[in-house]
Amino acid sequence: MNLPPRRLTSQLDVTISQPADIVFSVAVAATYTPAEEVLTMHLDGQPIDFHEISTNSGTRLHRVSKLPAGKLRVSYSALVDSPSLGMVEGEDQEIIYGRPSRYCDSDRLGQVAWTHFHQVPRADLVQAIRNWVNQKISYTPGSSRVVDGALETYLSRKGVCRDMAHLVITFCRAMNIPARLVSVYAPGLKPMDFHAVAEVYFDGGWHLVDATGLAPRQTMVRIATGRDASDTAFMTTMSGLTTLDRMSVTAIVEGDLPTDDAVVPVSLG
């Protein structure tokens, strides 16, 4: 597929109240080779150093340590005009992403998944799970808490993109289908923000499943990949005391957004 160039930016304003050690996850994954890419951090207006940490999942983390109190601004921009290389995936990935995780408690929801989906033919399972979550879970900003897992979403029938992705992942794992969470830049998302979608393994590859249907999958750009939201937070305070004051995200494609037909498998380009 011929993907249009995607121009991405994010900016975080953070107040450091006590000397802090922070990890950011806002840059596109290591599988891309952006035509342009700039990441800067400033403390009280002065540029500061940070360093990049590579991970086995292709997620690029950027860490600042021993930051004194002050106002931190993190600015990222990238132009992605070529498709992603495939992720390097060992056979263990298929096993690891089948396990229950913090917010995808597939072990507790095993019987529930079975009840809903055991009569669905294997080939239709992922689509059936996507549709169930799309239809039964009401997308409701403010309805969930960061400690909530898939069980809460299942019981309350409410959540945001993260919760809906967690439930998709949980049902997939409970039905023995490996699945994981991906944070993305998502052109077309309204209101614009970081987005979270499920990535599910079938037919020999990983495919995006977005039960929210809020943005076309084809033009999403991968940031972090992991078991669930515990692995994909855009900001993690390792020590110290911080407050996120403001955040802005943009993701734009040149030309028209593609049309996304939810029944067609899409892999991250």
**By the criterion CB under 8 A, which residues form the site for a copy of itself?**
23, 53-56, 61, 63, 90-92, 95-96, 98-102, 105, 107-109, 111-112, 142, 145-147, 151, 155-157, 176, 227, 230-231, 236, 238-239
**Which of residues 5 and 110 has its CB atom nearest to a copy of itself in the complex?**
110
How far apart are CB 133 and a copy of itself at their closest, in Å? 13
How far apart are CB 195 and a copy of itself at their closest, in Å? 20
How far apart are CB 125 and a copy of itself at their closest, in Å? 13
User: What is the rounded CA–CA span in Å between residue 39 and residue 251?
Assistant: 16
User: What is the rounded CA–CA span in Å between residue 235 and residue 238?
Assistant: 9
The CA distances from residue 242 to 41, 71, 73, 257, 263, in Å, are 15, 10, 12, 37, 42
**Which of residues 150 and 189 has its CB atom nearest to a copy of itself in the complex?**
150
**Which of residues 34 and 226 has its CB atom nearest to a copy of itself in the complex?**
226
**Which of residues 55 and 267 has its CB atom nearest to a copy of itself in the complex?**
55
Coil, strand or helix: which one is 8? Answer: strand
Residues 6+ apart with CB under 8 A from 8: 28, 76, 77, 78, 79, 80, 185, 221, 250, 251, 252
Record the tokens describing residue 58, joined without a space: 């292709």
How far apart are CB 29 and a copy of itself at their closest, in Å? 14
**Which of residues 81 and 89 has its CB atom nearest to a copy of itself in the complex?**
89
Coil, strand or helix: which one is 14? Answer: strand
The single residue listed with the structure tokens 């052109």 is 187
Q: Write phi, then psi, for 129 (nearest 5 degrees).
A: -65, -45
Coil, strand or helix: which one is 153? Answer: helix
How far apart are CB 1 and a copy of itself at their closest, in Å? 31
Residue 126 pairs in a beta bridge with: none
**Which of residues 91 and 261 has its CB atom nearest to a copy of itself in the complex?**
91
Are 165 and 196 a contacting pair, CB within 8 Å? Answer: yes
Continuous H helices in the chain: 91-96, 110-117, 125-136, 150-156, 161-174
**Which of residues 1 and 146 has its CB atom nearest to a copy of itself in the complex?**
146
How far apart are CB 162 and a copy of itself at their closest, in Å? 14
